[in-house]
Structure 1
Amino acid sequence: MHATTLREALPDLAFVADGSALVAEIEAYMASLPLPARTLPAPPPPNPHGSVTAPWDLGMVRPAPTWLDRIRHRAPAPVPIDTATHLRLVSRYLTAHGWTQGRLWDEQGAVCLLGAQLMVLAAGYGTPDIAYRARVLLMEQFTAQGAYASVDRWNDAPGRRLVEVHRQLDIAAARATSTLPTA
């Protein structure tokens, strides 16, 4: 697929630095998908009856624009989080919105692992560097288990189940927590 067409199929990734490893990974993954999986669905219509759900972000403080952000018409600074928190938020996002394979997200709003990472970033939690570190942790974990070296190939493997996704995210979060420096 031509590079400009691929970029048109992607959501707005302005919150991720241009030329970052995460953007390159997203583009490579999208290019590997068949054409129907590359098209972005329309967002689902709102529930006319309303809904009451627990927040996927664990009730964390959401990024709020300062007066300078408002004057300059820019997004607020992201909430700083560590790699373990990023992985936990990805798991929570998957629980709240659903999980899919073979595409970033589907018509119902379900996302793959990479899609969940992007949504956590887009919500203002963490930086692309933190998300990339989380992906590296997962890749190391899959390689050590003799499975896949790519998070996306692991996610898209036939027979994969959501419970396995959550389990691997929990293991990676525990590993990330155990490697944090102590005060």
Structure 2
Amino acid sequence: MKLSLAILLLFFSSHTYAMFCPNNFNQINIGDTIESVKQQCGKPNTEKKSTEEDDSGPQEWNYYVTPSTPGYTQPITGGQSATVKMAIALNNNKIVNITVNGMSLASSGMCGGNVDAVYNGKIISVGDSAKELKAACGEPVFINKSSQTNQKPPTIEVITFTYSSTPPVTLIFKNGKLTEKQ
């Protein structure tokens, strides 16, 4: 029992999510600081600083999607096909509710076939990120945002390191922490 637990923990260690530097074999992790990455990977070829708004407050993203159920048939007249409204509530950039035609769901595959996305046909679920939602369903038709505050949302400092390796690699830092490798 203890041996199997040790083996299981070995597979879920922090090194599971480690990645190599673009120009050497040193390891870096999501969440590492800028200084730590520079120390491990060296100076990047280009460094770009920008800011973006942290728009993680309550929002509702609305989509109008064509049903793809087995019993549904397209109209013969050549007119527009029927659509259903899919409303997705987000808070802190996470899906908290999915509603299709007034029915609350825990997950939905309604976006499949509507957009040419990398994750085309992916099922979206409560708890998925806004980024995953956008990859599966594309841009929403419109977004409803909370109007309780008259203040601008806080800004996030975004620093992008580009290394001219083969292939070129971009490391993205938000508020001083590594968040993404492209």
- Do the structures match in fold with TM over 0.5? no
TM-score after normalising by structure 1: 0.20
| Bigger relative CO (Cα 8 Å, ≥ 6 apart) | 2
Which has more strand, going by share of residues? Answer: 2
TM-score after normalising by structure 2: 0.20
